[in-house]
Structure 1
């Protein structure tokens, strides 16, 4: 059975961004997500898991256990630094250049859950990446493996999970305890997914949609017409929830993401309950555009978190970049480069408004200690905790500190772009591991310089001061 105390302590609520290869500036596929925790920091690590791990698995949150395939691929991931409540590997890229991010916490409705109840003895976000990513060689294979696991063992929560390879992106949402649906994202489309059921109009009879057998049974049970148009069916209407909470917590994030993708949202209400799942941006998006979306706090809108609060001092709408960002990743699979340098795991620790994302090669045999060995308690020798400290200082006097933070972010964007530009050719695993170490060192050095600047310039603005010195 589900160990509720451990589960609630580790439960995440996130934001997902998907960008098809025809929309990206360089023809890559990108799947990205903010992994958000609670009000207390939940430190994260960046690790590399070697191939052919032990073939037994025991969940730490339920009694679920299973035998895994003998052969597995190596992969990167970002598990929790504090152990005992599950792995929560979050997302990564395996040695076959397949990426997975798991997962986006979503909601379904009571009709679905009565038809297909959640299973407290099943699997969930804490398990998904570990059970799937090491065993797949394509995005579609990820959907098929996870779908089979869900149907066989069930899940105790509702989630959205994304997969990508160099050609395709697939997005899967669980519906009930054992049912699920997945769609292939068109190459010219993008997605902003929040914490509710996101998939809307699909062709259930088409080749780009996969689903559990129970899906059509539920639709037929709930349909108010004898003739069901499966080629233009809105799954959100059948499986989703339409809550007042969505109007302030979920829908505005989708509206904001669409705005930052270059879509005209001037006549769209941010609280709209049926914002589209798939959008088709006219402009090309690069990694830094995705980073901006994952960091967004409604700047330059009437809902700017730092300048337009409610009377209670809270934001009008839930932002994307926020205090509960623990780690964020953009999993990029590049086109027109050798396989060895195709998989790029862009990583940011802590609140995205104040951090910077930098690239790490996935085809390595280790990760740098400053991001691999994050301790459970504060220690600014490690990147996660250093960025947490910077965010606490910079958030307290946003307008004063933000120019310094932005200068740091621009320096790291330039460093990341240069890092990839200089490594376009086939490189050995050992050399890629060394390159990652150099990037981690550069980031830590730049972040420490930023912390030093914040302290030097901010000390004179402390409330506890007196301008006359003896």
Structure 2
């Protein structure tokens, strides 16, 4: 098999409200970076300034003025800000969810005409300068588009937006060129480090948005190789190289296999569609299961029963380099404080658990705000990560033990959500935030306590696997 660069970027899922079982919109992503790279989880309060504050990036010279009103929002920053904030995802007080970014790669020919901008906006800054200042998903697309057009982008990226009604996917194809597409209400999309959006309908601004001069840019530089007059963003700006065969395309294939098992496709195909209508409605558990998947049920599962060649052929969706995974669910017919849920899994989703935090929370548990590069037993990241580290050497022996804990927690979480939905109706608006903070913290505490005891059990069960072991006579 060919050798490829050691990429470690993310996998995303987007689900329209009519494609979900309960009318929720959902966006989710695995944030993949390094096998050890702790994340925190925080709430930034609503804040108002007398003068416009100035944002200055840590990772480059990107600088811009911000509005005087910053809405409250949740975020998952890095354990260190030396290379930038990397707040990654959250839900704001206005009911907008955002996840950034799905790293992508533009082809060198396009970049020759509009190169990436060294001091443009980057993944490390994008949530911080967009999410607190928008009141709809569509506004989020417009704000980010205006920033990319004005300041340029230092990376090719995909960004996910949602609110109670709409789900949008935004892609940066070069230094200043971008498009965005509304996911049809009855469809879903999975994305895996390739530019994904296909045909753009410039006569349909309700469902597509784009950089102002993108048509002229493509025409002037003779970038569109279509012979039927279409404008396929993926083909014009994206890649079609050998690493896509093994690193990117199979993850999309597996996601579509989960939600459209009746469709037979080649896992290495370059032409898998961006959006599909699922054969059955998708639940939030389905979205979480996708992000926790690793080709189960196929010969490509790295912890399955296939040949060594098959098990190492494709890059899995959930892998050891995940820092955190999330699903941002916005449920219908509920105030955002209760209807929005920031499902957060610290560490590797396949080994961890998605803990629900309501969008109306005022704060997060202390354990979620601490944790550095060296193991800290009180850090939420390390509590969940430790169980995964103990599972790894004996995966097939202990995976059911971990699965039992995950199932127990998922049942508990749903019961707590049911409780919140009922009781929140009887509370005054000023009481709701305190209540959902309490419920969210109870979920987090129960999850952390369960995983502490899981680690104790895995340590105890592992003691008999020493290489220095021997079948001794117990009578001696």
Q: Output the TM-score relative to the length of structure 2.
A: 0.92
CA distance in 2, matches of 1:243, 1:310: 25
Hey, what's the Cα distance between the residues in 1 that align with 2:181 and 2:42?
29
Quote the residue 1:435 is aligned against.
439
Correspondence 1:222 to 2:222: yes
**Residues 110 and 223 in structure 2, CA contact (< 8 A), matched pair in contact too:** no
Q: In structure 2, how many angstroms separate the alpha carbons of the residues matched to 1:113 and 1:149? A: 19
Pairwise CA RMSD: 2.1
Equivalent of 1:173 in 171, 174, 189: 171
Asked if the contact 2:156–2:173 (Cα under 8 Å) also holds between the matched residues in 1, the reply is yes
Change (3 A) 1:45 1:226: closer
Return closer, same or farther for 1:129/1:113 CA change in 2, 3 Å cut-off. same
Cα distance change on mapping 1:16 and 1:449 into 2, 3 Å = same
Distance (whole Å) between structure 2 residues aligned to residue 164 and residue 390 of structure 1? 32
- 1:419 is paired with a residue whose SS is helix
Q: CA deviation at 1:30?
A: 0.2
Give 2:9's aligned residue. Answer: 13
* Partner SS state of residue 29, structure 2: strand
SS at match of 2:117: coil
Determine which of 203, 206, 210 is the counterpart of 1:205: 203
- 2:31 counterpart residue number: 35
**Deviation at residue 154 of structure 1 after TM alignment:** 0.6
Partner of 2:372: 375
Query: 1:226: how far off?
Result: 10
Equivalent residue, structure 2, for 1:304: 301
- Counterparts in 2 of 1:157 and 1:445: CA distance versus 1, 3 Å: same
How far apart, in 2, do the equivalents of 1:82 and 1:464 lie?
Answer: 40
Give the match for residue 44 of structure 2. Answer: 49
Q: Which shows bigger deviation, 435-444 or 138-147?
A: 435-444
**1:115 corresponding residue in structure 2:** 113
The whole-number CA distance in structure 2 between the counterparts of 1:397 and 1:187 is: 42
Distance in 2, matches of 1:173 and 1:52, equals: 30
Residue pair 1:86, 1:126 contacting (<8 A) in 2 also: yes
The answer to which of 430-439 and 268-277 deviates more is: 430-439
Query: Any conservation in 2 of the 1:310–1:316 contact (CA below 8 Å)?
Result: no
Give the conservation status (yes or no) of the 8 Å contact 2:152–2:176: yes
Unaligned runs of 5+ in 1: 1-7
Shift of 1:435: 1.5
Q: Is it true that 1:251 corresponds to 2:246 in the alignment? A: no
Shift of 1:225: 7.8
- Match in the other structure for 2:455: 451
Counterpart Cα distance in 2 of 1:107 and 1:175: 8
Work out the number of aligned pairs and report it.
458
Name the CA shift for 1:225/1:459 in 2 (closer, same or farther; >3 Å). closer
Answering whether residue 226 of structure 2 is matched by residue 235 of structure 1, we say: no
Match of 2:151 in 1: 153
Q: Which residue of 1 aligns with 2:20?
A: 24
Q: 1:311 offset after TM fit, Å?
A: 4.9
Contact 1:309 1:315 in 2 (8 A): no
